[in-house]
Structure 1
Amino acid sequence: MAISLDKLVGFHQKALSVRSNRMEVISGNLANANTPGYKARDIDFNKAMKSAQYNQGNQGSLVKTHDKHISGRSQMQAEIEFRIPTQADTGDGNTVDSQVERNNFLDNGLRYQAGVMMLTGKIKGMKKAISGGGQG
Structure 2
Amino acid sequence: MLDKLTESFRGAADALTLRARRQEVLTSNISNVDTPNYKAVDFDFKAALQAAEKPHGHSSANDLPMQGGLAVTSAGHIAGSNPSGISTAAMLQYRQSVNPSLDDNTVDIDRERAAFSENTVKYEAALRDINRQIADLKLAMGSGN
TM-score (norm 2): 0.76
The answer to which of 100-109 and 76-85 deviates more is 76-85
Contact in 1 for aligned 2:38/2:106 (Cα 8 Å): yes
What's the counterpart of residue 85 of structure 2?
75
Which letter maps to 1:80? L
What's the counterpart of residue 86 of structure 1?
98
Contact in 2 for aligned 1:43/1:81 (Cα 8 Å): yes
- What is the deviation of 1:42? 0.8
Once residues 8 and 37 of structure 1 are traced to their aligned partners in structure 2, the CA distance between those partners, rounded to angstroms, is: 44
- What is the deviation of 1:82? 1.3
The answer to which of 75-84 and 29-38 deviates more is 75-84
Once residues 84 and 121 of structure 2 are traced to their aligned partners in structure 1, the CA distance between those partners, rounded to angstroms, is: 28
- What is the deviation of 1:117? 0.4
- What is the deviation of 1:74? 7.5
RMSD: 2.6
Q: Describe the superposition over 1:77-115 as per-residue Cα deviations: whole angstroms up to 9, x where unpaired.
A: 12222112222x222110000000000000000000000
Once residues 137 and 112 of structure 2 are traced to their aligned partners in structure 1, the CA distance between those partners, rounded to angstroms, is: 37
What's the counterpart of residue 128 of structure 2?
117
Once residues 132 and 90 of structure 1 are traced to their aligned partners in structure 2, the CA distance between those partners, rounded to angstroms, is: 58
Once residues 98 and 54 of structure 2 are traced to their aligned partners in structure 1, the CA distance between those partners, rounded to angstroms, is: 32
| CA distance 1:36–1:111, change in 2 (3 Å) | same
- Where structure 2 has 5 or more consecutive residues not aligned to the other structure, the ranges are 60-64, 76-82
Report percent identity of matched pairs. Answer: 30
| CA distance 1:58–1:74, change in 2 (3 Å) | farther
Once residues 84 and 125 of structure 2 are traced to their aligned partners in structure 1, the CA distance between those partners, rounded to angstroms, is: 26
Which letter maps to 2:92? I
What's the counterpart of residue 107 of structure 2?
96
Larger Rg, first or second structure (1 or 2): 1
TM-score (norm 1): 0.80
- 2:38 maps to 1:38: yes
Which letter maps to 1:77? S
